[in-house]
Structure 1
Amino acid sequence: MSDARDRPDPDPNEERQPGEENRYSSEYPGVAPLPPESSAPLGGGGWPDLGSFQPGVIPLRPLGLGDILGGALATLRSHAAMLFGAAFVVVGIGQLLALALVWPRIQELTATAGTGEATDEQLAGLMLDNLAVNGVSLGFMMLAQLFVTGLATIVVGKAVLGRTVGFAEAWEDLRPRLIPLLGVTFLVGVIVFAGAMLFLIPGIWAAIVLALAAPALVLERSSVLHAMRRSWDLVLNSWWRIFGIMALVVVITVVINLVVTLPFGIMAGGSVDPASTTTNEQIILTTVGEVLAASVAYPFAVTVTALVYIDRRIRTEGLALELARAAGMAPPDAGPPGSPHAW
């Protein structure tokens, strides 16, 4: 699906006067100009036809939904050990730290409620304390998710070029991006939360408009505010399409969570809420189920989001030629790179 800002495909048979090679560059600032006639062997005269080229997990053309989901699954398959393994480790650590904080409160609440001797005020106080501790545990989980977001985004950036990346190399790329990534995640979260307080719809709108800020920050190595502006520019004129994709991702991740956690909930006596369990074994079982579910759902959601970002740049900035050049499929003199450059 295209929109009003999508770049038109030049006619390869169109006659151009001398000096007109950069006409499309002047009409679309920041976009790679047309290559000269003599340096376009991939598609004849004019703009190379890259639609049939696929150096990595996606073809070099505007992506359909099947391309995006297929590219995400291909990326996860080729980097399964690193992405799922890293997610399992960091999410597991986050859950262990959270559980260490929540455990005493859960035990106290369960014991007090079980005796039937606590007053309503005491139970309300325990519940408020439990909510506060759960807020801290949620912070640990957000940090874990932040790491997975950065790591998976870097992997996708390499995978579209047909390259594999090891953990050490990905970590070297990610490490200087962690603090800015934390900043963009915090600001986007605050904006979305504030919008959600205004009858929910503004929060949903803001969540979609800023959905591509994280991949823009990681892959373009930009600042926090610039990444948010980039997301705004890339999303705004294709809001409904991206909303549909993101809504589908939410549905898929919910299904993943249900499928993975359900067996553990059954083993724990039918409960998937640690605060309502009555034995330590139930708490442990439900926690393991949550870690496994998050280890699968987080990488999937991030890879799809990164591919949506790449699709938007292909549609609006002519990124396909730049990716082809980076993958060695286009001649180096096929026009200078657009701005911002590919990773």
Structure 2
Amino acid sequence: MLYIVLFFLMFSLLLYVLLGGADFGAGIVELFSSRENRKITRDTIYRVMGPVWEANHIWLIILLVILWVGFPGYFNVMMIYLHIPLVLVLLGITIRGVAFVFRHYDAVLDSSQIWYNRLFRIGSIITPVFLGMSFASLISGKIIITNDYTNYGFYDLFMEPWLHLFGLLIGLFYAALCAFLASNYLIAETEGDARKLYRKKSAMYTVVLVILGFILLVYGYFAGFKFIEDFIHNPVSLISVGISGLLLIPLWRNIKRGNRIWSRYLAGLQVVLVMFAAIMAHFPYIIITAEEELSLLENLAPEATIDNLAIMLLIGGFVILPGLFHLMKSFNMIKILDKSKPKEM
């Protein structure tokens, strides 16, 4: 039963990165576009994201519930020592969601639209950045777990674990990953000049992603972060990253040929490989504190709780997944076959 729970935990994380990440990335693409191209991106976002944007956060909720119920030790550490970046994540999600609704459905078009647009773009970039910084704090080895708060200051316990250059680099890397996903997904949703625009955006964010990834590994290694050292010496992680890099070749060939389906799948597969490499680099010791490494498989909930959680997740999966698939298929978010004829661009 534990493996069922672990499967749904990783599955929820994966879907949130792929779907929620693409939503954040669309806002980032809009943010770093010219005034003319912002309108193109905004119109595309309305058409593509409008019907399903709320559904993507279900995976974050499921992820947190699984941690809360099945892995209370991990959940406790995250909620106590990462409460500041996680609150900023929730603030970014809220700002972005409110701005999206009002700029899309507001009956009166006035100067307030300017603020809705700004808040949407700001929320779209700060959310993945702080999500990345939250993850960085778990693996940085700077979390100090203690019950004696007299020997440590507020900054030592609740700021230093995530407020550092390594955390910022991971936050920017995840933001670039979201923009890479979004630009590749949007290629399949557009035609003509708009599609050429997203091809350029995809190339730009691919370069940014590679550069940030290289800087992150070099800095993390020479700064002595154990996670990066283990990542570099882990053959599974290196092979996964290598395959992800090699997939850039067929990805760009399919984009050039106009094969929308395979370009979308290849972009998603690259992200899956990067995530797999990061998780396998130190699994199950995802949290690295200043004193020790905490295993995800220790301090579990009682066996009866794990069993009931697994049963509920299986039932929920059979209920939710078909409905979500139908929703996304109905609004053309999921494409199995591309009926349009590929063409050179």
Normalised to the residue count of structure 2, the TM-score between the two structures is: 0.31
Higher relative contact order (CA 8 A, sep 6+): 1
Normalised to the residue count of structure 1, the TM-score between the two structures is: 0.32
